[in-house]
Structure 1
């Protein structure tokens, strides 16, 4: 079916790519061994550090976030090493499965798919580990399947309170450049990122931000690695180059995306995401629907996952909205399939795009006969207009 008008891509990533970034990606490919590329490489390798909030190295891979997951594990661990992971949702589950396939002994602390990682449970488990068999703690900062954000500073305190030497590995794929994140201040050893969400790029780049402790661990780690090896990358990056052919055109886009983020200011970027997320939640609550994340303190500013009443199909709603409004919403994953739909509000957007998204959802709810209280769009608009007072989580 052919649609007139622009397509609303409101999934939690990939996100809309700004025209200046698309234009940079579409520029002619340059020699990745030449002096023009050296300037580009030096610029993006320096600029990306401020987004992670680190003074240490950030490695850029020509890969999806899944590749950066693997790089974080194989550069720091050895076969049979014990790692502690927390079940926040679908993506934490996939990272856990990857660890097992790599020959790592992955212990998965059970979660409810409606909350972030429980720092208290992590601390208690680490205190039980008197012999320090656990070599790393792996946590997803923003669980894209549920819309729950974990308190990474609290996880760092849990490790410190337990007096445990475990590394801290964090996935920030759907929160980087969308939700405040502080690699260095929070004592994270490896942070995993991706290009296709808050960084406003197409898929194809991923990142490892690395601490000194992680670099020391890499010297002793014995899991096989070649393409993902930090050592070769860091050696080449010193002069702005890469040890193999990089995603040259995506790096051209990354330079522009970083310029845009720095021009807006990261604090302003985070405030814009917070604002969109709050407007979205006010609409959802006014409709009388349930937010998948239970704890308001853990609400994500990147996306909102919405539960439908029993007997109603989230996939049916998404299909109807796509057909009528040319808008894509995120589907439910794993046990949340057909129970949840996800509204992405991250990357390149503004208030009017948020309002258009919510209008499309409210129209879809009505057409599909899903019980709801009309007026959620007005509730969101009232908030965005500055007339809603303080943040609240009850329908007016």
Structure 2
């Protein structure tokens, strides 16, 4: 009978337990990678993808050799330093995207190049989806219908690598998300180019331009506006507008409906009282007439997203002899209102009521005829000390002239 050597014969001077004696011989890492790769090809089927199947930078199966280290050290992403761990994991994926000079690869192979495995393929696909929206990827389809990725251009590849650096270092690409400056008209220079609200405003405008009325809005709002008209000297019609610093444009007096506004009429009354100087709505002397309801799809210059506005336009008539104007208020001509641009170059947000017979010209003035000069009295009430100084200056000039005689 053939006798097996005892434990003492395995390694001289060392004890060997039963599991070690019966275990198969250990493979080298290269042998293990070859076996795992063979098993993967057998399980999934070999795809005829030309030279991409022989990419020496690491097939997905080779990443399985890191599983033990990955599990023992808290995950592959936890081994990096700098920015957030999840961000650094995505950075590795971005750096693995081939440049335009190399063949496109599928998500599984991309995961392998990033040092990940097949469990990370959904994360790779998610990252590629974001890059695809940015337009920096060249998307192809493999023989089996699988998506293939590479950078669209050399500049696009530089953008991808820059994003990876931002992720590694924990840097923000876009800034100032808390500031309502989406529709800023000022020229963008320096960090202004990276303003989050301006970026959002630009991409939403492009989406709206591409899709038109079929573009789904991301927000909705109910808006009220008041047409306040006066007949100035010479018979010219003028309309009251107010400059909105947030949206950087003139608008009719009005605003958004709030949840606690019982009706849209209550919204209009509240906005008049909030925006006009020393104005309290008098139900005996003030009248609001609804002119028109309509919808308008546009990109908000405040929030930056495409918004569906439901607008209700009212006409205010009052027995007051005058309205006091605040520093942001001004009267503009019908010509300025219809062209959408004030004489000072600023934009005017206005949609002319299409259902109004005779248009704006057919509207009666909001103020009595005596109110045509009300803007002068409004100046005196708002700036009494300046007015007094002007009067004293004129008196002093008159006294000086009399003394010269």
Which structure is richer in relative contact order (CA contacts within 8 A, separation 6 or more)? Answer: 1
Please say which structure displays the higher CA radius of gyration: 2
Q: For this structure pair, what is the TM-score category when the shorter chain's length is used for normalisation? A: under 0.3
